[in-house]
Amino acid sequence: MSKIEKIIKSMENAPQNVRFSDLEKVCVHYFGEARSKGTSHHVYKTPWQGDPRVNIQKDKSGKAKAYQVKQVLAAIKKLKEEQGE
């Protein structure tokens, strides 16, 4: 199991306990570099228009926000479905 797969497994099991840096690694792996990093938000481009958007930011504790972790998981699922995986 690769490091990315391990992070995704932990994201699925406990979305409220994911380090922002781990979520960022997963997003870069699936969606490429963020198109916007100038603010606290990191926005990743997806091959489709509209939701689910991939927009992440740290919470006050340095962890990823749980609802954004869930959005990233939904975007990965949609991406895999479109690729026929």
pTM above 0.85, yes or no: yes
CB distance 72 to 80 below 8 Å:
no
Sequential DSSP letters for the chain: --HHHHHHHHHHH-GGG-BHHHHHHHHHHHH-S-SB-SSS-EEE--SSSSSSPEEE-B-TTSBBPHHHHHHHHHHHHHHHHHHT-
pLDDT (0 to 100) of residue 52: 63
The per-residue pLDDT for range 50-81, each reduced to its tens digit, is: 766 788 998 888 899 999 999 999 999 999 98
- Percent of the chain's residues with pLDDT above 90: 55
Residue 42: what are its φ and ψ, rounded to 5°?
A: -115, 120
The per-residue pLDDT for range 12-47, each reduced to its tens digit, is: 999 999 999 999 999 999 999 988 766 788 888 888
